Amino acid sequence: MSSPARLKIGCIADDFTGATDLANNLVRAGMRVVQTIGVPQAPLDTEADAVVVALKSRTIPANEAIAQSLDALRWLQAQGAQQLYFKYCSTFDSTPAGNIGPVTEALMDALGCDFTIATPAFPDNKRTVFKGYLFAGDVLLNESGMQNHPLTPMTDPNLVRVLQAQCQRKVGLIDHNVVAQGEAAIRARIATLKAEGVGIAIVDAVSNADLLRMGPALSDMSLVTAGSGVAIALPANFGLQPTDQAAALPAAGGLQAVVSGSCSVATNQQVLHFIQSGRPALAIDPLRIAAGQDVRAEALAWAQDKIAQGPVLIYSTAEPSTVKSIQGQLGVEQAGAMVEQTIAGIARSLVELGVRQLVVAGGETSGACVQALEIEQMRIGGQIDPGVPWCHAASPAARQGLHITLKSGNFGTPDFFTKAFTALA
Ligand SMILES: Nc1ncnc2c1ncn2[C@@H]1O[C@H](COP(=O)(O)OP(=O)(O)O)[C@@H](O)[C@H]1O
Ligand SMILES: O=C(O)[C@@H](O)C(=O)COP(=O)(O)O
C-alpha cells in the first residue's frame, strides 16, 4: 500500500449531506476528496488532497458534539492536515446551546488558534450574508421557514448575535465594504478585530466573487469555520486549480434507483416531477410499517419487474399536513426512525438486487442508508446540482462498489431524480 501524501485540508462536517456538499465544492476547485462516515479507525489508505469526516453532531448535546469533533480533529492531524475546516449548515442551524459556537471554540483551543472566521454564505444555493445578516433566497433567515425548524428554529438573522450567544469569545464582523477591497483590507480588519479582543468574525459574502476575494486572506488560518461556500476559495491557496481529474470516478453501470425519505419542499417537487414524467414510483405508508406489514419485501417485489427498464423511485416523501398527521399518530421520533430504517433496508435490498446507481434524498435518510450499506468511505465525483455530487463507495452489498448521491432535502432542481442519472451516463 503506497503511503498517502500529506492532507492539505482536513474537514469536520456536522452532518452527512452537508459533508458531501463541502466535498463537492472542494472538488470543483481542484481537490481530490474522500469523505469518511464517522472518524476512521485506521489511517487513510488512498490519495486525497482533502478528507471530510462526516459526523452527525448538529443537534446532539454540545459536549458530545465537542468530543466527536475533537476525535475527528486528532485523526485529521494524524493524517498531516495542514488546515482545518469545520462545516455547518448554510442556514446556520444551531441553538443558543450550540453546536456551532461550542465546537468552534473547542477546535480553536485544541489548535491554539487565536482567530477564525464564521460564514455560512453559499451564493450558489442563494445563502448570502450582508452586514452580518443571513439571507436564504430573497428573505432574511427568520422569514425563510427556518424559524419553524423543529430542532433548530432560527428566529434571529443577525449572525453576530446568534453566534455570540453560543460563545465565550467575543464575536465580531468583517463586513462587505472590507471584503469588497480584498486580501489586504481583510487582513487589516482581522488585525484590528484581534486588537479589540475579538476571536471569531462573521464574514459577509453575497457572491462567489466575495468568497474568492476572501480566500487568500485565509491562507494562514489554522481553522476555518463555514458552510460549504468558502471551500471554493481554499484550494488555490495550495496551488490547485479546477480540473476534471479531481472529480474522476470509476465508470458507472448497473441498475438505477431513487429512495427518498425527505419531506422538504424541493424533494416534494422532485418526487412529483419524477411521477409526472411517467416513471415507476412507489409510495411507502408509515402507518403500514407501524402495523407490522413487511413494507421492505413489498417494495422489493414491486421494483423487481420494473427496474430493468430504467430508474424506479421508492418514497415516503409527503406534504407537511400528511407528515403532521402521521407524526400525531406515531410520534415524531418513532415515525422518523421507522421510516428511515425501512428506506435504509430497501436501499440495501435494491443494491443486493443489482442497483449500482443510487440516489438518496434527505439528510437523516442518507445517514440511515449509508449505515445499512455499511459504507465507510466515499470518493467524491462531479456535481449534479450545487451542493450535490455523485460519489463512489465500497459496500459489502456491491462487489465492485456503487455510485451514490446523498441529496440534502432543500437542494436540487425539480428534475433532479432523472437528471442525476443523465449526469452519470
Ligand atoms: N411520510 C412521513 N411521515 C412522517 N415522517 C416521515 C415521512 N417520510 C419521512 N419521514 C421522516 O422525516 C425525516 C426527514 O428528514 P431527512 O431525511 O433529514 O430529510 P431532509 O433532508 O429533507 O430534512 C426522516 O426522519 C424521515 O424518516
Ligand atoms: O449547508 C447546507 O445547506 C447543507 O450542506 C446542509 O448542511 C443541509 O442540511 P440538511 O438540510 O439537514 O440535509
Q: What is the pLDDT of residue 51?
A: 98
Q: What percent of the chain has pLDDT over 90?
A: 93
The residues spanned by each domain of the chain are 9-242, 249-424
In the reported structure, the alpha carbon of residue 308 is separated from the centroid of ligand 2 by a whole-number distance in angstroms of 33
Distance CA 240, CA 374 (A): 33
66-80, 140-154, 280-294, range with the lowest pLDDT: 140-154
The ligand that comes nearest to the alpha carbon of residue 387 is 2
Q: Domain 249-424, what architecture?
A: 3-Layer(aba) Sandwich (3.40)
Q: What are phi and psi of 214, to 5 degrees?
A: -70, -35
How many Å lie between the centroid of ligand 2 and the Cα of residue 140? Answer: 17
Rounded Cα distance between 261 and 23, Å, is: 23
Asked whether the beta carbons of 97 and 193 are under 8 A apart, the reply is no
Grid cell at residue 385: 446540482
CA of 18 to the centre of ligand 2 (A): 5
pLDDT at 4: 53
Q: 316: Cβ below 6 Å to ligand 1? A: yes
Give the pLDDT of residue 294: 98
Query: What CA dihedral angle connects 293, 299, 302 and 303, to 10 degrees?
Result: -170
Q: What is the pLDDT of residue 48?
A: 96
- With a 6 Å cutoff on the Cβ, whether 229 touches ligand 1 is no
In short, whether 261's Cβ falls inside 6 Å of ligand 1 is yes
Residue 176: name the closest of 207, 150, 222, 153 by CA.
207
Residue of 334, 331, 340, 328 whose CA lies nearest to 263? 340
The three three-digit cell numbers of residue 123, written as one number: 451564493
Report which bound ligand comes closest to the CA of 127: 2
User: How many alpha carbons fall within 13 Å on the CB side of residue 1?
Assistant: 8
- Residues 316-362 pLDDT 10s: 999 999 999 999 999 988 999 999 999 999 999 999 999 999 999 99
Q: What is the pLDDT of residues 211-265, one digit of tens each?
A: 999 999 999 999 999 999 999 999 999 999 999 999 999 999 999 999 999 998 8
CA distance 1 to 92: 40
* ipTM of model: 0.98
Domains 9-242 and 249-424 alike in fold: no
Give the pLDDT confidence of 393-402 residue by residue, as tens digits.
999 999 889 9
| Confidence check: pLDDT of 3 > 80 | no
Sequence-ordered list of residues with C-beta below 8 angstroms from that of 74, at least 6 positions apart, any chain = none
Q: Strands across the sheet with 127-130, in order? A: 127-130, 133-136, 139-140
62 lines ligand 1 (CB under 6 A): no
Spatial neighbors of 30 by CB under 8 A, at least 6 apart, are 49, 235, 236, 240, 241, 242, 243, 246
Mutate to test the pocket of ligand 1, among 316, 325, 333, 341 (most ligand atoms within 8 A of CB): 316
**Which ligand sits closest to the CA of 261?**
1
What is the predicted pLDDT for the residue at 5?
60
Which residues pair with residue 312 across a beta bridge?
A: 257
| Topology adopted by domain 9-242 | Rossmann fold (3.40.50)
The residue among 170, 223, 227 whose CA lies nearest residue 200 is 170
The per-residue pLDDT of the chain, averaged, comes to 96
Q: Please name the residue whose Cα sits nearest to atom 5 of ligand 2.
A: 18
pLDDT of residue 1: 42
Nearest ligand, CA 124? 2
Residue located nearest, by CA, to atom 4 of ligand 2: 18
Indicate the pairing of strand 312-315 with strand 133-136.
unpaired
**Residue closest by Cα to atom 13 of ligand 1:** 336
What is the per-residue pLDDT for 6? 85
Minimum CA distance residue for ligand 2 atom 6: 18
Pocket of ligand 2 (CB under 6 A): 15, 17-18, 21, 89-91, 122, 227-228, 363, 387, 408-410
Residue whose C-alpha is closest to residue 261's, from 344, 186, 188: 344
